[in-house]
Structures are given as structure tokens and as C-alpha cells.
Amino acid sequence: MKGNKKPFYGAKLRLSRTFKGFTLAELGEQLTTSRQYLQRLESDQDSPSEDMLLALSEALSVTPGFFFEPLSGEVSEEECHFRKLKTTPSNLRIRALSYGTIFNMLLTYLEKYVDFPEIKMPSIKVRTRDDVERAAEKRRMAWGLRLDAPIKNVTRTLECFGCVITTFEGISEKIDAFSYHRSRPIIVRSLEKGSSSRARFDLAHECGHLVMHNDLEVGNPELEDQANQFAGAFLLPRTAFIHEFPKSVRLNWTELFRLKQRWGVSVQAIIRRAYDLRLLNAVQYRNANVYISRNGWRHGEPPETEPSFENIRVLPAAYEVMQANHSYSVQDIAKDLCIQPSILENFGFIKSNTAF
């Protein structure tokens, strides 16, 4: 803004624009201005007039001060493990990264006032499939999880040992989840898909990345395979699973769904786990997947077989601490961050019943 003592940071405009999911052209149309003008603003070649600044702030759910503080803590694609990286369009990844960046602003702010759980997620180096199996078993044992019993609540388990889980919605069902490590491990989960069993698997998958791949270059398909194997091993420990998997020539789908309800893992993941542990051969595995497809279970298994949705706890608890110990309201926090309170709702920070 002309006459303002602080410089206008175009990077903050780009961040808030991508967070809201606008292209330059779409934002320009909404504000009756050109794409080229907004591009000049984002590249620091121009500064907005006062009326344009107010219009930008309203359209992007921030306050004017948001644009006059430098961008820090930006989340880059190089540090994030994305589920379905290959099939996720670049614009959707950019929007998801903007969620991560603004969430970092919130988390950095909260850490000044709130003591989060101690981080107990040490790195484990893996090379072979057996290494991955052992890594999953080590994490279960270190966290006091029995190898012969289901994990009751994956979300709560990860939160208790220092991981912060947040959510985003309204981007695309093409993004299931992604994770990265800053001051603490962070998992960002989409709310676009309603399957609670698959949400548990997504969390276990990202846990695998955080445990095994913290210092490795992202985007390697082998790392995604390892994270999938870790998730299967973490949720379905091999000794117990081999013992419980139905022993018959033909698959007993009633028994498989009973196994799903006991362990909180989709039938599709159970079939894959059985194949990985050589309980099913290639023909049986293919036939099982054909049967799953014919029944429409790839896009959602029967709702009555799904486990209960899991609430995120740490972020709502952090807000309760801010209220009780510091008398901070949602409006106070949003004001300090130069954003509108509505943005905080995206992260499961306000609503204590946020579930997935």
C-alpha cells in the first residue's frame, strides 16, 4: 500500500491466494482487476492501493497486516511426503503446501504458550522389506502397543508421542494426506474421504515416512511402497495377522469383514497384507481385487463395517489451554496472526469434535 512504512510482501499474497484456491485470473475477476496486475503484486513489482488492499484482505480472509510481514516457515514440496504424488496435479499440491505453511504460522504461535507432548519418534533406517517390518514392530513396542491386539485409536497414539495432526478440506479427494517435520512431526489429513479405516491407514502411512524417511529425498516411489508396507505392518502385525487370517482355499468374505472390524483396517488393505505375507498367491490376490471392484468397494466399503471416526485432540486442547491460562479467544489468536477466525476452522483447531 502506497505510503505504508512497511513493504508489501507479494509472497504473502501468493500464499493467501493459493490457500483459498484462487488462480490469478479467478482472483482478478472477483476483484475486477487484471491477472497481470496481481502478478506484479506477487512479484513485488507494485504495491496495492488502499482500497485494493482492503479488497484483497476480504477476499482472502486475512487482515491487511498479513501482507506486511515477511513470509517465513514456508513448506516446500521437497520436504513433504505426499500420498498419491504421481496422480496429484501441481496446483493441488501447491494449495496443500499453502495449508501447511499457514498451519506452521499457527503452530509456531501456539508453541510459545502451550507445552505439546514430548516427541518420541526416532528415525529408523531401513533397506529391506524385513527392515520395514521390524521398524513397525519396534514402534509398536516402544509405544506400548501389543503385537497381538489392534490399535484402538491411531490418531491419539501418534499425538501422544509428539506428532501434531491437522486437517484440511475443500481441496480435492486426490490428496489423502501428507507429512513433514519441522519443530515436530506434522501430518496433514484430508477430510474429503469418509472412510475411517482408510484414514487410519493414511495416518500409519505418514507415520512410516516420519519414522523411516525423515532425511531422505521425497518423491521416490520406493519410499511410498515402504510407507505402505509400514502401515500394513503397523496396523496388522505379522504374527497375529498370520494366525488370524482365514485359512481356506476360497476367501471367506464374512470372515474378512470380521477381521476388518477387529483391526480397523479396510478389506482391501487386509488383502494386500495377506499377499505381502504370502498368505495369498498372485491368482488369489488378483481374483480378490476383481471381487472388490465388482462390489464397488474400492470407493468405499459398507459403512456398517467401518471403525469409529477418530477425533484429533491436541489442537483443540491447545486452544483450551490458550483460553484457560491466557484468556485468549479465537478472535485474539486470529488477530495476532493477521487472519480471519474462519481460517482456523480449516485445521481442526476450534471444533473439538473434528473427526476423520
pLDDT of residue 346: 80
**Among candidates 308, 309, 314, which has minimal Cα distance to 347?**
314
Domains and CATH numbers, the chain: 10-68 (1.10.260.40), 75-356 (no CATH)
> HSE (CB half, 13 Å, CA atoms) of 30?
17
In angstroms, the CA 145 to CA 310 distance is: 18
> Which cell numbers in the block locate residue 350?
476450534
Q: Which amino acid is at 250?
A: R
In angstroms, the CA 228 to CA 215 distance is: 18
Model confidence pLDDT, tens digit, residues 232-253: 999 999 999 999 999 887 899 9
> How many CB atoms are closer than 10 A to CB 157?
21
Residues 88 and 80: beta-carbon distance below 8 Å: no
Model confidence pLDDT, tens digit, residues 40-82: 999 999 999 999 999 999 999 999 999 999 998 899 888 888 7
Alpha-carbon distance values, 287 to 95, 245, 258, 282 (Å): 38, 17, 20, 9
> Which cell numbers in the block locate residue 48?
496495492
In angstroms, the CA 281 to CA 278 distance is: 6
Q: What is the pLDDT along the chain (356 residues), one digit of tens a residue?
A: 444 578 999 999 999 999 999 999 999 999 999 999 999 999 999 999 999 999 999 999 999 999 999 998 899 888 888 765 556 677 788 888 999 999 999 999 999 999 999 999 999 999 999 999 999 999 999 999 999 999 999 999 999 999 999 987 655 566 778 888 888 999 988 777 678 999 999 999 999 999 999 887 777 889 999 999 999 999 999 999 999 999 887 899 999 999 999 999 999 999 999 999 999 999 999 999 999 999 999 988 999 999 999 989 999 999 999 999 999 999 999 999 999 998 988 887 775 444 44
**Among candidates 5, 27, 28, 25, which has minimal Cα distance to 17?**
27
pTM of the model: 0.90
Residues 311 and 200: beta-carbon distance below 8 Å: no
Alpha-carbon distance values, 165 to 66, 133, 193, 227 (Å): 25, 24, 16, 17
In angstroms, the CA 15 to CA 268 distance is: 37
In angstroms, the CA 10 to CA 42 distance is: 4
In angstroms, the CA 208 to CA 137 distance is: 11
Residues 263 and 235: beta-carbon distance below 8 Å: yes
Contacts of 280 (CB under 8 A, 6+ apart): 271, 274, 288
Q: Determine the longest span between alpha carbons in the chain, in angstroms.
A: 78
φ/ψ of residue 149, rounded to 5: -140, 150
Give the 3-state DSSP-derived string for the chain, with helices as H, strands as E and coil as C: CCCCCCCCCHHHHHHHHHHHCCCHHHHHHHCCCCHHHHHHHHCCCCCCCHHHHHHHHHHHCECHHHHHCCCCCCCCHHHCEECCCCCCCHHHHHHHHHHHHHHHHHHHHHCCCCCCCCCCCCCCCCCCHHHHHHHHHHHHHHCCCCCCCCCCCHHHHHHHCCCEEEEECCCCCCCCEEEEECCCEEEEEECCCCCHHHHHHHHHHHHHHHHHCCCCCCCCHHHHHHHHHHHHHHHCCHHHHHHHCCCCCCCCHHHHHHHHHHHCCCHHHHHHHHHHCCCCCHHHHHHHHHHHHHCCHHHCCCHHHCCCCCECCHHHHHHHHHHHHHCCCHHHHHHHHCECHHHHHCCCCCCCCCEC
